Structure 1
Amino acid sequence: PSECLLHSFLFLAVFGRAIHAMARISDEFWFDPVEKGLALRSVNSSRSAYACVFFSSMFFQHYCWTAVSEPCQKEKQLPLPCKLIMKAVLPVFRCANVLERNVEKCSISSSAGAQHITFQLLCKHGIVKTYYLTFQECDPLQAVFAKHLCPNILKVHSRLLADVMIHFPTSQEEITLAVTPVKVCFKSYTEEDADFSRTMVTEIHLSPEEFDYFQVGVDSEVTFCLKELRGLLAFSEATSVPVSIHFDRCGKPIAFSIEDMVLEANFILATLCEAQKEAASQE
């Protein structure tokens, strides 16, 4: 059977946080094992937010992506990618501290003829928890976005970015990122007709020296949803990998990504264009 085995709390917590980050985008996600590793993908209903987290085969203690039906037959790929319901998977990776205390290994497997994926938690004291999650076969999900062509690229430690986002209330739905060659500003986004006497406006300014990499080719001000970014930050903090931000002018997507030797994550979010901002202010 096709199988991958997650070993040690560190990897298990990282994988679990990836699932939770996906849950901020959609109530379902694509589970897509390929020869080089396992990809998790998600897109929201309005297709304004897309996420992909790819775990290299080296991330796992053991990774096998094909099934052999007969010794003389060629190896046969499983009927994947497939789609899983998020609320069925979330209980498997409920919270990191429970995983740390109780779970030693996590096995994820599926057989060629099966209509489910098996998540098995091997816990302390010989306890084994097994979850059989049915899946739906589906077409591949892929976002087309050439982030390397973006004129603006920022690279910042996830801890610093998380510290910035703490200052925005959980009720804040959208924020604006404004950049020039000499400064970066994160600020609350509010419609022009909002009652400012009842609205808390937050602005946080950073200098280029606070970034690991700083390239601003065009002055820009982009507004995007904060919910999906919070999920990525919780995930990236577990990996201690810097976050790269690629973007252009408003109306074009913004990409938040992390990458190291064993995993790569890309969260691509739509940004408000001027026409949308004007419509929001007129409503």
Structure 2
Amino acid sequence: MEFTLSDNALKTFARCITCLARIGNELAIQASSSQLLFHTINSSRSAYECISFKPGFFDAYTVSGNSVQCSVLLKAVCAVLRTPIANIDHLTVRLPDPDAPKVRWILDCYNGMRKSYWITCNVEPDIQHLSLDRQKFPSNFVVRPRDLNRLLANFQSSLQEITIIATEPSSLPLDAANEIGGKAVELRSYMDPTKDSDTLLHTQLWIDPKEEFLQYVHTGDPIDVTFSVKELKAFLSFCEGCEVDIHLLFEKAGEPVLLAPKFGLEDGSHSNFDATLVLATMLISQLHEGAVSEPPAGATRAHPNTEERNASYMEQENCRADASSELPSDHTRIWSDLSASAFKSITPQAERQAQGETVLNGDGGREIQRISTMQISRSGAGNNPIDSNLYP
């Protein structure tokens, strides 16, 4: 396998690596004559990202044999790209043969300097593969990255999980519609019920999709999804750097959320690259059963200017955020596992948990039900890992 790229393609490639590094630690590379796949999964297996490149994305692209796959540390790849992109004439990545122990990365700079790096391949690469049909998600919206960044700026930077509530405008009761100005989408900071909520800042933001979104599709009863903010912001930065809109697709609580760049085309078939981020969501809905979400008493009324639309309030005057820990809450760690079947070795206890068994939290003895698992299959010998339904 060998490919070379330069100019704008090199800038996009560097953004892809940066985004992948903010999701997981290991970069799985799968190459065939038709496409090159980069994908990673985070340590808690609650986030999976895949980026595909077509041969036309590169200045030169060759693959010997049917397919090639290997795995390297993303930290090492990021070290290669520490050289400013503006100083690089072109980048060449070379794997001499499928069983080669190292991948060679070559930087040819404008000043005539050539830098070569050899990154060791993992002996047993943990190759994951996830296939989801974008057409099967009933609800979705498209938003400009800068607009979504502006909306998220209303929340604390230490926020770990966020809830999105989608409502059909025509289904709102008259009193609720008058109270929130007919706004059909709500962003809400997730509050861990195991923590003292009296000391935390709780923010709710109501949005008119006609004002903020380029596209909004939702029919039927209100639904909500709660997922990690960290991976959302990583993908948001990636789409903003690539100057493309972000497409977010979802179904309901407990089902995965899918994010993808929106190239302005129906399926992105004319783009030389594509990306997909899949986030597991909390199993328990944050909506009250049978009730539409209503603003809390004393909340700030909606305003046509989104900058003034922050309806956040404090339960107590002395608010403090737990920003020291980067780990997600216990709920996310337990409910957001994509699939225990993707582990190299599965203990009997993990297997029982993957089948939806109710487990006990040792801290408080409270019962927590695991998230509905998503199917991730490991690529095995004799299978072509490139043939997938990830991109319909």
Q: Considering the TM-score relative to the shorter chain, is it more than 0.5?
A: yes
Alpha-carbon separation, structure 1, partners of 2:147 and 2:40: 26
Alpha-carbon separation, structure 1, partners of 2:102 and 2:154: 42
Question: Which residue matches 1:133?
Answer: 119
Shift of 1:138: 3.6
TM-score under structure 1 length normalisation: 0.86
Shift of 1:64: 1.4
Cα 1:213–1:234 change in 2 (3 A) is: same
Question: Which residue matches 1:71?
Answer: none
Deviations 1:221-280 (A, max 9, x none): 111011111111111112111111111110110001115411111100000011859999
Cα 1:201–1:11 change in 2 (3 A) is: farther
Shift of 1:196: 4.1
Alpha-carbon separation, structure 2, partners of 1:243 and 1:140: 26
Question: Which residue matches 1:89?
Answer: 77
Q: Provide the aligned length of Structure 1 versus Structure 2.
A: 268
C-alpha contact 1:105 1:123 (8 A) present in aligned 2: yes
Q: Which runs of 5+ in 1 are unaligned?
A: 67-75
**Quick check: 1:181 aligned with 2:168?**
yes
Select between 203-212 and 57-66 the one with higher mean Cα deviation.
203-212
The structure number with the bigger radius of gyration is 2
Cα 1:108–1:239 change in 2 (3 A) is: same
Shift of 1:19: 1.3
Alpha-carbon separation, structure 1, partners of 2:116 and 2:153: 36
Alpha-carbon separation, structure 1, partners of 2:37 and 2:262: 14
Tell me the C-alpha RMSD between the 2 structures.
Answer: 2.5
Shift of 1:216: 0.6
Shift of 1:144: 3.0
Q: How does 1:182-197 map to 2 (within 5 A)?
A: 182=169, 183-192=184-193, 194-197=195-198
Q: How does 1:83-232 map to 2 (within 5 A)?
A: 83-94=71-82, 98-100=84-86, 102-112=87-97, 113-136=99-122, 138=125, 140-182=127-169, 183-192=184-193, 194-209=195-210, 210-218=212-220, 219-232=222-235
Secondary structure class of the residue paired with 1:18: helix
Alpha-carbon separation, structure 2, partners of 1:91 and 1:178: 40
Shift of 1:139: 6.4
Shift of 1:152: 0.4
Question: Which residue matches 1:4?
Answer: 3
Alpha-carbon separation, structure 2, partners of 1:195 and 1:81: 47
Shift of 1:140: 4.2
Secondary structure class of the residue paired with 1:126: coil
Cα 1:55–1:162 change in 2 (3 A) is: farther
Alpha-carbon separation, structure 1, partners of 2:236 and 2:48: 15
Secondary structure class of the residue paired with 1:125: coil
- Residue 115 of structure 1 aligns to which amino acid in structure 2? P
C-alpha contact 2:71 2:126 (8 A) present in aligned 1: no
Q: Which has the higher strand share?
A: 1
- Residue 53 of structure 1 aligns to which amino acid in structure 2? I
C-alpha contact 1:158 1:243 (8 A) present in aligned 2: yes
Select between 31-40 and 193-202 the one with higher mean Cα deviation.
193-202
Cα 1:130–1:161 change in 2 (3 A) is: same
Deviations 1:42-75 (A, max 9, x none): 1123321111011121111211122xxxxxxxxx
Select between 210-219 and 265-274 the one with higher mean Cα deviation.
210-219
Question: Which residue matches 1:73?
Answer: none
Question: Which residue matches 1:39?
Answer: 37
Q: Which runs of 5+ in 2 are unaligned?
A: 170-183, 264-270, 286-330, 336-359, 367-392
Select between 247-256 and 26-35 the one with higher mean Cα deviation.
26-35
Misfit runs of 4+, over 6 Å: 277-280
Shift of 1:93: 2.3
Question: Which residue matches 1:69?
Answer: none
- Residue 5 of structure 1 aligns to which amino acid in structure 2? T
Select between 203-212 and 234-243 the one with higher mean Cα deviation.
203-212
Q: Which one of 232, 236, 245 corresponds to residue 233 of structure 1?
A: 236
- Residue 244 of structure 1 aligns to which amino acid in structure 2? H
- Residue 147 of structure 2 aligns to which amino acid in structure 1? L
C-alpha contact 2:30 2:70 (8 A) present in aligned 1: yes
Alpha-carbon separation, structure 2, partners of 1:40 and 1:148: 23
Shift of 1:133: 0.7
- Residue 165 of structure 2 aligns to which amino acid in structure 1? A
Alpha-carbon separation, structure 2, partners of 1:187 and 1:91: 37
Alpha-carbon separation, structure 2, partners of 1:142 and 1:27: 16
Question: Which residue matches 1:25?
Answer: 23
C-alpha contact 1:147 1:247 (8 A) present in aligned 2: no
Shift of 1:167: 3.3
Shift of 1:110: 1.2
Select between 201-210 and 151-160 the one with higher mean Cα deviation.
201-210
